[in-house]
Amino acid sequence: MYKKSIAKKDDFDWYKLESNILGVREKASGGFAIKPKQLGTVNIFKELVDKIIYYYRFQYLTFDSRGVPDEYLKELKNLNFETFQTNNYVFQEKPKIGDMVVIAIKPYDGKYEKGKIKAILTNIKYHPRGVKVVLDNKNSTVGRIATIIKKAHKL
pLDDT band (50, 70, 90) for residue 151: low
pLDDT at residue 6 tops 50 = no
pLDDT digits (tens, 9 = 90+) for 128-149: 778 899 999 888 899 988 878 7
Bridge partners of 3, per DSSP, are 16
Q: How far apart are CA 54 and CA 48, in angstroms?
A: 10
- Alpha-carbon distance 95 to 42, whole Å? 28
The SS3 of residue 120 is: strand
Segment 47-69 shows an average pLDDT of 85
pLDDT at 67 over 60: yes
Mean of pLDDT values over 50-71: 84
Pick the closest to residue 137 from 110, 105, 108 (CA basis). Answer: 105
pLDDT at 3: 47
Report how far residue 51's alpha carbon sits from residue 48's, in angstroms, rounded to the nearest whole number. Answer: 5
Mean pLDDT, the chain, rounded, equals 83
* DSSP conformation class of 153: -
Calculate what percentage of the chain has a pLDDT beyond 90.
35
Number of residues assigned to the chain? 155
C-beta separation of 118 from 134 below 8 A: yes
Phi, psi for 26 (deg, rounded to 5) = -75, 135
Mean pLDDT, residues 100-121 taken together:
87
Please report the pLDDT score of residue 22 as a whole number. 93
pTM score above 0.85: no
Instruction: Return the top range by mean pLDDT from 39-48, 50-59, 110-119.
Output: 39-48
Q: Which domains does the chain have, with CATH numbers?
A: 3-91 (3.40.630.30), 100-148 (no CATH)
